[in-house]
Amino acid sequence: MKVGVVGASGYAGTELLRLCASHPELEVVLATAGGHEGQSVGAHTPALAGAYPRLVYSATAADLDGLDGLDVVFLALPHGRSQTLVPELMDRVGLVVDLAADFRLHDPGLYPVWYGEVRRAPELLSRAVYGLPELHRDAIRGSRFIAVPGCYPTAATIVLAPLLEAGLIARPGPSVPPLVVDAASGVSGAGRGASEHLQFGSVQEDFVAYGLLDHRHTAEMEQSLGVPVLFTPHLAPMTRGILVTAYGRAATAAVTTLDALDALRARYDDEPFVTVVEEPPSTKATRGSNSVHVSTRVDPRTGWLVALAALDNLVKGAAGQAVQCVNIALGWPEGLGLPQAGLFP
C-alpha cells in the first residue's frame, strides 16, 4: 500500500516512519515536512537513515498533488491545520488518518472553547471515526477517515471506561466529586520544536505541572467518559511515556480491589494491546510498543478508587494507534507490524 506522511519531520511523523519501516504492507512513498523540503530524511533524523536511505522530504504545500491516489495518508501536523487539509484530501486518497486534535471533539462548539480557534469544516465531524480500537473497533472497520485520540485521553479512557461502565466508580455529578486525573508525560508530547523550557538543561531533574485547569485533553476525556474531569498533567524528565493516575469515589463501600481488577480483566482479556497488571504499571514497560498497561486499587480507608494506565505517548498515544486503526480499517490482522514488546532497558 502506498503511504504518505504529512508532517513527517516531527516526533509523531518520525514515529510513523519508524513503524511503517517494519510494517509488511505499508510503504512510505511521500513524506512532507515544511521547512525541510529537499532535505534527506536520514540527514535530518539519522535514526531513519538506515531504513530510508533515499527518502527526501517534500514540502507540504506543493505536495497535495503528490498525495493524490495514495492508499493511506497520515496527517501529523500541529492542531488546526487538518481542518483545512482534510476537506481537500478526503476524496483523493483511500484513507485519511489524522493524528491532530481537529476532528476528535464531536460537539462543534467545544473546539473553539478549548483550542481558542475557529471550528472549520464542521460538516466533516460526523464522518470522522474516533480511533480508539478498544472502544470503537466496529466503527473503525472500513472507515475512510479516522481521528486518532490524544495521548492522555487514550490512557485515561482505557482504564476508566470499564470501571465506570461496571458501576464501580460513583458517577460524578452535583453531589459526587469529579474524576481527578493526574498524569505525567515525557517531553516528546510537547513536540520536536526548540524551546527553552524543553532544553535538556531545563527538563533534567525537573518534575512540574503544566496546563493547570485548562489542558485541552480535558474535553476529550469528558467526551469519552461522559463525566466531569479535573485534569492535571505534569512534565517528567523522560522522553516518552505517559502514566495516568486517576481518582474517583468508589460507588459503594462494598467495592473491592478485586472487583475492580476483575472488571478490567473481563473487558481486556482478548485485547492484544492492553495488559492488566497487578503491580503498578510502568511507563518504561511500554516504551516503543503499542501496549497499554492498566491496574487499579480500591482504598477501604477512604472509600476511593485509584486507577492507573501507562503507555508510550508516541506509539499507543499517537503513531502506533494510528497504524492499529489502519490495520482494522483495511481488514488486516490488528497487530500487523506493531511491536508488543517494549524496549527494556
Q: Which of residues 292-331 bind its own copies (CB under 8 A)?
A: 293, 297, 299, 301-302, 304, 306, 308, 310
- Identify residue 255 by its one-letter amino acid code: V
Dmax of the chain from CA atoms? 63
Of 34, 182, 256, 336, which one interacts with its own copies (CB under 8 A)? 182
- Binding string to its own copies for residues 257 to 296, with x set by CB under 8 A, is what? ---------------xx-x-x-xxxxxxxxxxx-x-x---
42 CB-side CA count, 13 A: 7
- Binding string to its own copies for residues 219 to 238, with x set by CB under 8 A, is what? ---------xxx-x-x-xxx
CB 82 within 8 A of CB 75: yes
- Binding string to its own copies for residues 162 to 181, with x set by CB under 8 A, is what? ---------------xx-x-
- Identify residue 115 by its one-letter amino acid code: Y
Q: Minimum CB separation from its own copies for residue 298, in Å? A: 8
* Pick 67 or 187: Cβ nearer its own copies: 187
Quote the cell numbers at residue 161: 471506561
Q: Which residue has the cell 519508524?
A: 18
Catalytic pick among 20, 151, 243, 264: 151
Q: Which residue has the cell 503511504?
A: 3
Phi, psi torsion values for 163, nearest 5 degrees:
-75, -35
CA distance 223 to 88: 27
* Pick 125 or 180: Cβ nearer its own copies: 180
Q: Minimum CB separation from its own copies for residue 304, in Å? A: 5
Dihedral of CA atoms 189, 58, 43, 289 in degrees, nearest 10, equals 40
Q: Minimum CB separation from its own copies for residue 341, in Å? A: 4
151 in catalytic set: yes
Contacts to its own copies from residues 16-55, by CB under 8 A: 17-18, 21-22, 42-43, 45-53
Contacts to its own copies from residues 94-113, by CB under 8 A: none
- Identify residue 34 by its one-letter amino acid code: G
- Identify residue 94 by its one-letter amino acid code: G
**Total residues in contact with its own copies, by rule CB under 8 A:** 92
CB 131 within 8 A of CB 228: no
Would you please indicate which residues are annotated as catalytic (active-site) residues? 151
